[in-house]
A and B are shown apart, each in its own frame.
Chain A
Amino acid sequence: MKNYIKYLPLLALGLMGCEPEFDSGIEENEVYTQGEADFSTYVAVGNSLTAGFADNALYIQGQQNSYPNILAGQFELVGGGEFSQPLMADNLGGLLLNGNPILDAEGNNRFQNRLVLSSNEGNPVGPQPLAGDPQTEITNTLEGPFNNMGVPGAKSFHLLAPGYGNVAGVSTGQANPYFVRFASSPETTILADATAQSPSFFSLWIGNNDILGFATSGGTGIDQTGNIDPLTYASNDISDPNVFAGAYSQLIEGLTASASGGVVYNIPDVTDIPFFTTVPTSPLDPTDPTFAAQIPTLNMVYGAINQVFLALQQPNRVIEFSTDAASAVVIEDESLTDLSAQIEGALAPNPQFIQLVQSFGLPAAAAPQVAAVLGDTYGQARQAQPEDLILLTSSSVIGNIDTNRVASLVAQGFPQEVAGQFSAQGITLPLADQFVLTTNEISLIDNARASYNATIQGLAQANNLAFVDVDGLLQTVSQGVSFPGGIITSDFVTGGGFSLDGVHLTPRGYALVANETLRAINRTYGSDLPEVNLGDYGTITLSDDVN
């Protein structure tokens, strides 16, 4: 008997190892197949979208939900290996160079903390940067290699640029602080660090920034089409389509050298991105009593200027505010013929205009000066058309008084009150170029994008790569994509697809891209990778820890 009993403890130990087994176990790699692709070493190359950038920053939680990281989780089910990412130091996302923020020309911090949605007594207020001191010091170089080679801000040709990770180039704009953090050497390129890992599978999503800098700056840059020297480009310029094509084919050539396969992504339309679609072209609402009270005066002043437009056969320049429907904002459009001199010349001697000037409490003698100011202000102004895009950045500006403008008018001798009346942005002061993409600017973007996308799709076909039509995907999102537990739309803040910067995706949006990618890979390589559950991925962060 003793002999039996002393085995009981052993028996107990043995029981722990006795686990239930599924008929077909996912964990045992019995369910899915890799098809013709080899996912053992997956390397992702791209820009902010590949890095997992969201809410105007790169931060750990966003990186963990990057679409490459989501993909790698699924690849693991069919033999995919570890997927390492150059994780930031925190969930704030701000960057430091030698302990200090990195400033732009105007002295603003270029790499602020991520945006969160603040609230007040149970009501949402708006996106604001999360409070806290960021800990990510870009000179603390991380030891690679990293499977996720996504570098926020990178354009197509940057992936091939030696020195793009050299800290010395950060202040001159020739290097990218995000790449400085994990470049294998100051002189390496992003492509070189990617191919050095001999990827068995790769993803490439690049080209967004080749148009997006131009687009988000309201088209303040230059369309460089025809200029094939990217060294001469500024960050807000549109890259020449041939420069893009040349860079893209080099990238494909480099990445396909070792890989069994890969997936490439095209460039979406800006009109599917909330940064460009949230603010309507006609936001000026006559049911707002403050605005309604101003309409008669506005129409009186603009009436005088409209006479000039009509006399010059420019009826599309006429500016008028409706009392029973929302009116379009007044914008600056560089592409318009500058009519400053004509406006000034026509108004100054006009007796009615002199009366108008006097009605503002100014002497009749001030009429020429006022005419000059109006000519200067409205020489290239018009009301926005439905096809124009008013940028998200304008939402805090429209209707507000431009204090610089007021100061300038006061300096010219205008009374404070009158100066204020002529400085309401989007109403009496045309919205500046940086807040508006005019139809003209949009067509420059569209032309370049169409060419980039043709290049991408052509090279995908030529190299038998999986192709993800992000353009089509985001069009679908703008109509709404439902999933168990909700619907993903492009609506700013509430839609669930886009993060609080209005450009980059949420984890749920990145999961949607990952699922589209998995479908494309399955189609191309005959694998049967499962899609992830969109409802498991979050959207925006709520927090009142803001400054």
Chain B
Amino acid sequence: MKNFLISGLLLILATASAYAGGYRVAAQGQRALAMGHAGVGVVNSAETAFFNPSGLVYLEDKFTVSAGITGVFSNVKWQNTSTGQFAETQQDPGTPFYFHAAYKVTEWMSLGLSVSTPFGSSVEWEQDWAGSHLVNDIELAAIFIQPLVSLKLSEHFSIGGGPIFVTGNVNFNRNANRTLTDEQGNRSNITIDDSGVTNTGWSASFMFTPVEELRIGFNYRSEILLNAEGGEATFANFPNSTLTPQNGTTAFDATLPLPAELTMGFAYQPNENWLFAFDYQRAFWDVYNSLDIDFADPNVPTSINPRNYKNASTYRFGAQYKATDNLMLRVGYYFDESPVQEGFFAPETPRNDGNGYTAGLSFQVSEKFAIDASFLYLRFKEVDASYDSYVENGQSVPFRGTYKSNALLPGIGVTYKL
């Protein structure tokens, strides 16, 4: 069993495949993910630490741990029928993971720890593709580490939350413009790279249990600004001319916001065999107005990249069925509204509204140990979109095309109880 598991995990880690989409990655618990990633009203494992920390105190076990990893297999294709150009993203691994733990200190207080990667993105287009003046490749990842406390104020009401420590890194490469090359014909490009960017935030939640069958949850996770200060920008393949920036490195400052997220919903358990969950989520993406990259070299102008994201909602539905004493089956669906507005569809986050179809199961290997598996198929409609804020010679030069993308996310995890 262990061998199968390990070989499965290693394969997912090693397999070249792509992660794409916006940079919020909903894969913070296989049990929830199998139910449309709904979980603000669900109390069934340490996953609750992420979805609604106030629910931890309702876990029956003294100590419980959930950990898992998801393989993100994403494909984005682009084409422009007015020019005949087409491109697709490379297959690169994306592997969000999570580790959640809960410890029951007293009947009315639990402590928890949640480590997860709710934000991240990896998009790699073919080098020098038609949109290379906007992005060749981008990789960003943020790890959230959150100590938690959960307090039961009454049989019907609990609260929870804690500080969030974030460490992030970003690597972003694109060409200087649509045509500039060095003397050998290599396209001039700029890479910005920074790692170990830290900041803090917080989350707060409550859970209301009016009757035993129904739990109503509310969770708020604060906005966190990842301020890359003194990161390294590398200018490469610029020609040797005093009319262009020089090759080499300079420092840069940039801010990437991780938006606040509000989730409310409920879980309804009519009997021992069935559980239904619904989450409504609002992500406050309007904080992401523009990606401005300020270079230390005074000869290089600040790169202004309007994003103009809007707040966006997600609707999550899930159901769980207890098939046997040691087998739980789950299914779910979610509708994910894109924060990207018309005319701001940048190929670095080529994301339009998505429909997520999920399924999964938990198998109780022993009384203490269960295996959780989930599968998500994320489908995006074919969309004609453009990014209109790229400017050359003072003129807007829209980057247009048709995008079609999907993503498949198989995930595996374990739940351990003491």
Contacts and interface: CB of A to CB of B under 8 A. Distances in A.
Contact of B240 (A15, A22, A543): A543
B242 A119 contact: yes
Contact of B4 (A6, A60, A64, A120): A6
A21 interface: yes
A124 B243 contact: yes
Contacts of A544: 240-242
B393 A77 contact: no
Interface residues of A, number: 60
Contacts of B7: 9
B243 A486 contact: no
A168 B373 CA distance: 75
A22 B77 contact: yes
B370 to A, nearest CB: 11
B243 A535 contact: no
A23 interface: yes
Interface in A112-129: 116-124
B185 A533 contact: no
A469 B183 CA distance: 33
A18 B406 contact: yes
A64 B239 CA distance: 19
Interface residues of B, number: 60
Contacts of B365: 1
9 contacts: A6-B4, A16-B91, A20-B380, A25-B79, A25-B86, A61-B185, A531-B82, A533-B83, A536-B179
A8 B1 contact: no
B371 interface: yes
B262 interface: no
Contacts of A25: 77, 79, 86
A530 to B, nearest CB: 4
B85 interface: yes
B347 to A, nearest CB: 15
B82 A530 contact: yes
Interface in B370-418: 371, 373, 375, 380, 382, 392-393, 395-398, 402, 404-406, 408, 410, 412
B416 to A, nearest CB: 17
Interface stretch (A26-34, A362-370, A395-403, A472-480): A26-34
Interface in A489-547: 507-508, 529-533, 535-539, 541-545
B241 to A, nearest CB: 4
A485 B178 contact: yes
Given A8-B410, A484-B397, A485-B392, A20 B11 contact: no
Contacts of A77: 84
B79 A122 contact: no
B181 interface: yes
Given A21-B404, A22-B402, A12 B183 contact: no
A22 B75 CA distance: 12
A531 B83 contact: yes
B408 A15 contact: yes
A74 interface: yes
B183 A543 contact: yes
Contact of B73 (A15, A60, A485, A541): A15
Contact of B8 (A8, A130, A536): A8
Contacts of A541: 181, 183, 239
B134 interface: no
Give 6 nearest A-B pairs by CB, closest first.
A538-B179, A61-B185, A542-B241, A530-B84, A485-B392, A485-B397
A122 B244 CA distance: 8
A484 B181 CA distance: 20
A13 interface: yes
A15 B410 contact: yes
Contacts of A535: 178-179, 392, 397
A446 to B, nearest CB: 35
Contacts of A22: 77, 79, 382, 402, 404
B120 to A, nearest CB: 19
Given A22-B404, A486-B395, A12 B181 contact: no
B386 to A, nearest CB: 11
Contacts, number: 160
Contacts of B75: 18-20
A128 B148 CA distance: 68
Interface string B354-381: 0000000001010000010101000010
A122 B243 CA distance: 5
Given A20-B405, A485-B395, A120 B242 contact: yes
A25 B371 CA distance: 41
B77 A1 contact: no
B381 to A, nearest CB: 10
A91 B8 contact: no
Interface string B90-105: 0100000000000000
Contacts of A118: 241
B180 interface: yes
Contact of B71 (A12, A23, A24, A485): A12
B224 interface: no
Interface string B63-90: 0000000010101110111111110100
B412 A26 contact: no
Nearest to B299: A122
B173 interface: no
Given A5-B371, A535-B397, 20 more contacts: A1-B365, A2-B4, A5-B5, A8-B4, A8-B412, A15-B410, A18-B406, A20-B77, A22-B382, A26-B81, A32-B84, A117-B243, A122-B242, A485-B397, A530-B83, A532-B84, A541-B181, A543-B241, A544-B241, A544-B242
Contacts of B271: none
B12 interface: yes
Contacts of A91: 183-185
B15 interface: yes
A105 interface: no
Contacts of B393: 485-486
Given A9-B8, A122-B243, A536 B130 contact: yes
Given A21-B404, A26-B81, A26-B86, A16 B73 contact: yes
Contacts of B241: 117-119, 542-544
Interface in B8-55: 8, 11-12, 15-17
Interface in A293-350: none
